[in-house]
Structure 1
Amino acid sequence: MLKSLDIYGQRNTLKIVVALNLLLVGTASLLYTNRLVEKLEAREESSVKLYAKALFNVYEVNVNDDMTFMTDEIIFANKKHNVPAIVLDQNNKIVFSNIEFPKGTPDDEIKRAEELELAEMKKEHQPIVVEKDGKIQGYVYYHNSSILLQLRFFPYVQLAVMFTLGFLAYLAFSSARRAEQNRVWVGLAKETAHQLGTPLSSLMAWVEYFRTDPAIDQSIADEIEKDVNRLETIATRFSSIGSIPTLKNEDLAETVHHFVSYLEKRISTKVSMQFESLIPDGKQVMINKLLFEWVIENICKNAVDAMKGVGKLTIRILPLPRNEIAIDITDTGKGIGKANLQQVFNPGYSTKKRGWGLGLTLAKRIIEEYHNGRLFVKSSEVGKGTTFRILLRDSVVSEEPVLEGNKTAKSA
């Protein structure tokens, strides 16, 4: 049984390794920072407790100068480290707040702001109860310091920056790789076209020689000439890779039917081909004939491979609403599993032992990038067959008047 081959799949391993490393570093940073936050939070709570006791000591009448100096230093240190706090007495009335307001702020606005801050502090922390000699002196509510808040969000910012840099690096790497691949393919294609030129000229000379020899059946020379012309077409395709193709008005049904007639004689005789056109006779669309035939060829050859040389291949051209045209290519092959439907157009995907997995990728690129259309799997059922659909959009359908004709059906 054939197994799918993805010659580009190994490149994903590096991406996964890099992503896992980023995730590992980010998770370690997050856990370490959270531990630091917990320790600093506990330290701030202890500082606020000391701060609260210092505040209530200041309110004592009989306090010596040394104690007053020490409590003043504690209050100043708390203010310097920006730990917002509000002190309530035993009756839950605000007696002190270290929240700063602009000079000239009215007392009623300060009071409202302090009450709002107090409500938020109650949601954030349980109050610190200040006791002396077993009696409650008051309560202290507080917010975490700005430094602690910054440290709490730092690992998330760090993760975001890391993944952003990783994503940008991935885009840059992918773009550079695609550009390098394109240069390689373009160079290889043009060199292939160049190398085909000499033997093609020689083959054409042999065809002319066969025509002058009465002992040779002229139908054989005609078929050889068709193959030589086909090779010239392929060479022209390769030489045009890397440049923007020119689109011209072409008779769509005639273009497809001509290729089907050529292909029918060069595939297994156990494959029956049927061509059907439901569009008006002479209907023209803007296509690049050489490249468009390449698309039909790739899909048809894949269909023949899927049927293992035995089955039925149907090509139907039909009109769609809003002046669109669809070309359905249906085979009676092995079908495509749901898990592989999204992979058939990926570079390197192939179910054949020999194959680079580029045929459908090139076909999709030709249709979608150069003809502003779509190529997709319309339907597929394992064991019954697959239908590929080529959809030509409004932008490539000719607006010129076309010959009105009856629906036609042709068999290649």
Structure 2
Amino acid sequence: MLKSLDIYGQRNTLKIVVALNLLLVGTASLLYTNSLVEKLEEREENYVRLYAKALINIYNNDSNEDVSFIANEIILVNQKNQVETIYVDETNRIAFSNLVFPPGTSETEKVRLEQEELEEMKKEHKPIVVELENNKRGYIYYHNSSLLTQLRYFPYGQLGVMVTLGFLAYLAFSSARRAEQNRVWVGLAKETAHQLGTPLSSLMAWVEYFRMDDSMDQSIADEIEKDVKRLETIATRFSSIGSIPTLKSEDIYETVYQFVSYLEKRISTKVKMHVENFLVEGKEVKINKLLFEWVIENICKNAVDAMSGVGKLTIRLMPLPRNEIAIDITDTGKGISKANLQKVFTPGYSTKKRGWGLGLTLAKRIIEEYHDGRLFVKSSEVGKGTTFRILLKENIVTEGPVVKGEKTVKSA
């Protein structure tokens, strides 16, 4: 059983730890503030009860001047604390309120506003019952003070700010990581291209030497030369990473077919390959041929690995709406599980013991960043196979005859 390799697992763990710490701090802040709110709410309720007694004292015209003075002071302090209250008698009629209305509000409008506030207060708190003379009762409804309201919603605002800061930190961290990866890849690629230069020159000299030897089979020299040119192509690909590639209009079908024809001789002889074309004849797309062939190579080699070197590989080219073309590469391999579908393009993810997990990542980057297209897994079923789809924008040209059919690149 092959194990997947994730060279960035430790960094993902670090991000999870940071996120959990932020969540822990935010939750602790929320719980502590809610505890303060409950205590303050209880205090305000007791205060409103005291206010109710002072209000009834005024209504009963208590002759004790000291008591009346204290009652007036309590009412005045309540107004300063902005605790809005409405006193309702036992007939459910509003007898008194300390609501503040905008200047110019008519009496009719005040009555309507008081009634609306009363309904809101009934939803917010249970009324405070006031025992009156002659076994009568009154009820005082109230809102929370502005201070209590602010304190109640403060932790949610604080938590929102922390989440926002955490998200921004995550974006910054991810951006820095991607930039670091790009610098490493670009440096490694260019150094690889440079290192390949010297042995390639030597190999070309050996090819010329073999051609001068009449006793040697020249077909061998021809095949060696093909592989040397292939290495030169690879070196050119690596040297172009990190630079803006030049795109040229190419016959997309011929480009794919010719490269697959080259590739089929260098993979398993038990893999049957087909190229099916449903595009108009001569359909051109702007591509960088060297980089685009690299994409096809990476996807096909991954497909051959998924089939363990035995199976069928089909490359299908077809037109789509909105001036796009699709290139579907379908294998009959082991497929990709749903859990791993989102990981196949992740740098460092590989199911091979000796894989770096960069092939599909680079392929996706070449298509999406350099060719303004898309590369994704169109479908996959465990045990039956996978289809990768490449989407490219076609060149707008006069339509020619449609060439439908397929070419068998190699028979099993």
Please state which band the TM-score falls in when normalised by the shorter chain.
Answer: over 0.9
Match in the other structure for 1:268: 268
Closer, same or farther in 2 for the Cα pair 1:227/1:140, shift >3 Å? same
Match in the other structure for 2:407: 410
Question: Structure 1 stretch 101-110 or stretch 143-152: which is displaced more?
Answer: 101-110
Question: Structure 1 stretch 135-144 or stretch 177-186: which is displaced more?
Answer: 135-144
Question: Structure 1 stretch 369-378 or stretch 145-154: which is displaced more?
Answer: 369-378
Deviations 1:163-222 (A, max 9, x none): 011101111111122112212211221121112112211211111111111122111111
Match in the other structure for 1:162: 162
Match in the other structure for 1:246: 246
Match in the other structure for 1:338: 338
Match in the other structure for 2:97: 97
How far apart, in 1, do the equivalents of 2:103 and 2:268 lie?
94
Q: What's the CA shift for 1:89? A: 3.5
How far apart, in 1, do the equivalents of 2:308 and 2:62 lie?
104
Deviations 1:69-104 (A, max 9, x none): 211221111111110011233444333221122444
Closer, same or farther in 2 for the Cα pair 1:104/1:317, shift >3 Å? closer
Deviations 1:40-81 (A, max 9, x none): 111111101100101111233342222122112211111111
Note the aligned Cα RMSD (angstroms). Answer: 2.0
Does the alignment pair 1:400 with 2:401?
no
Closer, same or farther in 2 for the Cα pair 1:89/1:232, shift >3 Å? same
Deviations 1:5-28 (A, max 9, x none): 222233221121112112212222
Match in the other structure for 1:306: 306
> TM-score scaled by structure 1?
0.93
Alpha-carbon contact 1:37-1:151 (below 8 Å) kept: yes
Question: Structure 1 stretch 31-40 or stretch 156-165: which is displaced more?
Answer: 31-40
SS in structure 1 opposite 2:372? coil
How far apart, in 1, do the equivalents of 2:29 and 2:383 lie?
52
SS in structure 1 opposite 2:9? coil
How far apart, in 1, do the equivalents of 2:63 and 2:118 lie?
29
How far apart, in 2, do the equivalents of 1:298 and 1:214 lie?
38
SS in structure 2 opposite 1:246? coil
Alpha-carbon contact 2:131-2:137 (below 8 Å) kept: yes
Paired letter, 1:332: T
> TM-score scaled by structure 2?
0.93
SS in structure 2 opposite 1:390? strand
Match in the other structure for 2:145: 145
Question: Structure 1 stretch 102-111 or stretch 223-232: which is displaced more?
Answer: 102-111
Deviations 1:97-145 (A, max 9, x none): 2112244433333222222222221222222111256833522111111
Paired letter, 2:218: Q
How far apart, in 2, do the equivalents of 1:137 and 1:341 lie?
70
Alpha-carbon contact 1:281-1:403 (below 8 Å) kept: yes
Paired letter, 1:206: W
Question: Structure 1 stretch 249-258 or stretch 292-301: which is displaced more?
Answer: 249-258
Match in the other structure for 2:193: 193
Match in the other structure for 1:354: 354
How far apart, in 1, do the equivalents of 2:90 and 2:315 lie?
90
Does the alignment pair 1:83 with 2:80?
no
Closer, same or farther in 2 for the Cα pair 1:91/1:5, shift >3 Å? same
Identity %: 76
Alpha-carbon contact 1:279-1:408 (below 8 Å) kept: no
Paired letter, 1:380: S
How far apart, in 2, do the equivalents of 1:4 and 1:292 lie?
27
Question: Structure 1 stretch 354-363 or stretch 379-388: which is displaced more?
Answer: 379-388
Closer, same or farther in 2 for the Cα pair 1:411/1:108, shift >3 Å? closer
Closer, same or farther in 2 for the Cα pair 1:148/1:188, shift >3 Å? same
Match in the other structure for 1:33: 33
How far apart, in 1, do the equivalents of 2:105 and 2:398 lie?
79
Alpha-carbon contact 1:129-1:136 (below 8 Å) kept: no
Match in the other structure for 1:217: 217
Q: What's the CA shift for 1:234? A: 1.0
How far apart, in 2, do the equivalents of 1:262 and 1:127 lie?
87
How far apart, in 1, do the equivalents of 2:127 and 2:324 lie?
72
How far apart, in 1, do the equivalents of 2:63 and 2:404 lie?
109
Does the alignment pair 1:377 with 2:377?
yes
How far apart, in 2, do the equivalents of 1:342 and 1:348 lie?
13
Alpha-carbon contact 2:55-2:71 (below 8 Å) kept: yes
Alpha-carbon contact 2:278-2:402 (below 8 Å) kept: no
Closer, same or farther in 2 for the Cα pair 1:61/1:318, shift >3 Å? closer
Deviations 1:217-238 (A, max 9, x none): 1111111111111111111111
1:115-130 maps to which residues of 2 (within 5 A)? 115-130=115-130
Q: What's the CA shift for 1:241? A: 0.9
Match in the other structure for 1:285: 285
Closer, same or farther in 2 for the Cα pair 1:162/1:405, shift >3 Å? closer
How far apart, in 2, do the equivalents of 1:405 and 1:140 lie?
85
Closer, same or farther in 2 for the Cα pair 1:240/1:103, shift >3 Å? same
Q: Which runs of 5+ in 2 are unaligned?
A: none
Deviations 1:145-173 (A, max 9, x none): 11111111111111111101110111111
Closer, same or farther in 2 for the Cα pair 1:221/1:117, shift >3 Å? same
Q: What's the CA shift for 1:322? A: 4.9
Deviations 1:229-277 (A, max 9, x none): 1111111111111122111111212211221122122122222333333
